[in-house]
């Protein structure tokens, strides 16, 4: 069935669709019946300059193959204009792929405000602006599918990428809220950490590895998550690349429960540090109330627990 997933009559907006992963998503959705908005500013991977060529090339490729697509050259920082293009051209939006991205890698010691601000503007504010503009349409039609793009750098931290890592993990939090607020309107939002050969990675990985990491190998997961049949994966985090797809989640150690009174001292915590860090019987929290539940337990403990 998955091989025949189709998106006929649906309108898909892909940001940063002029190359790399975005282009792969765009070509796929167009080949499966969707009308696609190809957004790309056409700048360098450091976020400098811009031209319309990147988006135009992809639109032409889709049209040449008999598909439907329209270009948009705005920065995602003006995401409302990208959604406007979808509404003007096709009258609706069903799927939003927040994919546009840049890098400003530099050690934290040498990072400037510009390096920080530009990364936040493109990744975080960009995803916010497009999603904010699409949201009323999604709610009204009681249908929407969103993919946000995080990175292993965001999930785990990566040397020289304090700005990018902070922005990318920010997108995880953003996705979790969209998933919770959108659920009752059949708006489903998930976040992926891809690994693929693109101009972003071609300078940091050897050719034989890049050969195994075609952007096309990220597409099937995105296709599944954005299909109308997906109503169960919402607010999920995936790592995907080179044919591997895996889901990630938070894990909490058993933890130390002490009575919260004057006996709750640094020494009391230190004494049972092994419990704080013991992952033998972990829990997998998925909401803020989860921790409150633990506190209720702690409040019932007697001093003997210390
Ligand atoms: P890429 O550079 O090939 O594609 C990014 C595209 O976004 C480019 O075409 C660029 O012109 C466009 N873009 C940049 N700034 C824009 C803006 N302000 N408005 C509109 N378009 C803009 O890189 P890619 O590897 O395909 O990256 C796609 C996404 O995946 C990015 O968000 C990136 O951070 C993320 N990512 C990629 C990898 C990987 O291994 N390639 C790993 C982790 C995360």
d(CA 189, CA 299): 36
Query: Per residue in 83-119, is it b (16+ CB within 10 Å) or e — as a string?
Result: bebbeebbebbbbbbbbbbbbbbeeeeebeeebbebb
pLDDT digits (tens, 9 = 90+) for 251-269: 999 899 888 889 999 999 9
Q: Is the CB of 161 under 6 A from ligand 1?
A: no
Nearest protein Cα to ligand 1, atom 33: 101
- Secondary structure class of 61 (helix, strand, coil): helix
Q: Is the CB of 163 under 6 A from ligand 1?
A: no
Nearest protein Cα to ligand 1, atom 6: 16
pLDDT of amino acid 296: 76
Question: How far, in Å, from the CA of 88 to the mean position of ligand 1?
Answer: 25
pLDDT digits (tens, 9 = 90+) for 196-236: 999 999 888 999 999 999 999 999 999 999 999 999 999 99
Q: In the predicted model, is pLDDT for residue 3 greater than 90?
A: no
Testing ligand 1's pocket by substitution, the residue of 26, 48, 164, 200 carrying the most ligand atoms inside 8 A of its CB is 200
Residue 164 bears catalytic tag:
yes
Q: What is the DSSP letter of 83?
A: H
pLDDT digits (tens, 9 = 90+) for 107-119: 999 999 999 999 9
Burial of residue 186, with CB atoms counted within 10 A of its CB: 0-12 exposed, 13-18 middle, 19 or more buried: middle
pLDDT of amino acid 306: 39
Structure tokens at 176: 């979790």
Question: How far, in Å, from the CA of 103 to the mean position of ligand 1?
Answer: 8
Structure tokens at 23: 């282009």
ipTM above 0.95, yes or no: yes
Q: Is the CB of 167 under 6 A from ligand 1?
A: no
Q: Which of 164, 185, 228, 259 is catalytic?
A: 164
Would you list the DSSP string of 190-224? Answer: EEEEE---STTTTTTS-HHHHTT--GGGTHHHHHH
Q: What is the DSSP letter of 18?
A: T
Nearest protein Cα to ligand 1, atom 31: 101
d(CA 237, CA 253): 20
pLDDT digits (tens, 9 = 90+) for 23-79: 999 999 999 999 999 999 998 888 888 888 999 999 999 999 999 999 999 999 999
Q: What angle do CA 270, 275, 281 make, to 5 degrees?
A: 165
Ligand 1 atom nearest to 75, measured from its CA = 19
Average pLDDT across the chain, whole number: 94
Nearest protein Cα to ligand 1, atom 19: 75
- Give the helix ranges, DSSP H, for the chain: 20-31, 53-64, 79-90, 113-119, 126-141, 152-156, 162-182, 207-210, 219-226, 266-271, 273-276, 289-299
Residue 7 bears catalytic tag:
no
Q: Is the CB of 200 under 6 A from ligand 1?
A: yes
pLDDT of amino acid 304: 44
Q: In the predicted model, is pLDDT for residue 303 greater than 60?
A: no
CA atoms within 13 A on the CB side of 188: 20
Q: Is the CB of 16 under 6 A from ligand 1?
A: yes
Question: How far, in Å, from the CA of 152 to the mean position of ligand 1?
Answer: 14
Q: Which of 35, 168, 247, 297 is catalytic?
A: 168
Does the reported pTM lie above 0.90? yes
Q: Is the CB of 242 under 6 A from ligand 1?
A: no
Which phi and psi (to 5°) does residue 236 adopt?
-95, 155
Q: Is the CB of 122 under 6 A from ligand 1?
A: yes
């Amino acid at each position: 069935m998955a091989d025949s997933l189709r998106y006929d009559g649906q309108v898909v907006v892909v940001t940063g669709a002029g190359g790399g992963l975005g282009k792969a998503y765009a070509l796929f959705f167009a080949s499966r019946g969707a009308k696609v908005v190809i957004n790309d500013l056409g700048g360098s991977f450091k976020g400098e300059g811009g031209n319309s060529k990147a988006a135009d090339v992809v639109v032409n490729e889709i049209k040449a193959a008999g598909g439907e697509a329209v270009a948009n050259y705005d920065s995602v920082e003006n995401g409302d204009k990208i959604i406007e293009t979808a509404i003007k051209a096709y009258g609706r939006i069903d799927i939003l792929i927040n994919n546009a991205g840049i890098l400003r890698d530099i050690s934290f010691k040498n990072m400037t405000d510009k390096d920080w601000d530009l990364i936040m503007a493109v990744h975080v504010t960009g995803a916010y602006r497009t999603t904010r503009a699409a949201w009323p349409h999604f709610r009204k039609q009681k249908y929407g599918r969103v993919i946000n793009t995080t990175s292993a750098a965001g999930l785990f931290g990566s040397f020289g990428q304090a700005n990018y890592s902070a922005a990318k993990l920010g997108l995880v939090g953003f996705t979790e809220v969209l998933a919770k607020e959108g659920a009752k309107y059949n708006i489903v939002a998930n976040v992926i950490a891809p690994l693929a050969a693109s101009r972003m990675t071609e300078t940091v990985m050897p050719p034989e590895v890049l050969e195994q990491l075609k952007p096309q190998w990220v597409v099937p997961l995105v296709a599944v998550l954005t299909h109308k049949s997906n109503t169960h994966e919402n607010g999920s985090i995936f790592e995907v690349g080179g044919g591997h797809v895996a889901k990630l989640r938070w894990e909490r150690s058993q933890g130390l429960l002490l009575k919260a009174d004057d006996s709750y001292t640094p020494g009391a915590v230190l004494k049972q540090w092994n419990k704080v860090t013991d992952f033998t019987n972990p829990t997998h929290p998925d909401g803020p109330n989860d921790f409150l539940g633990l506190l209720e337990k702690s409040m019932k403990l007697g001093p003997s627990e210390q």
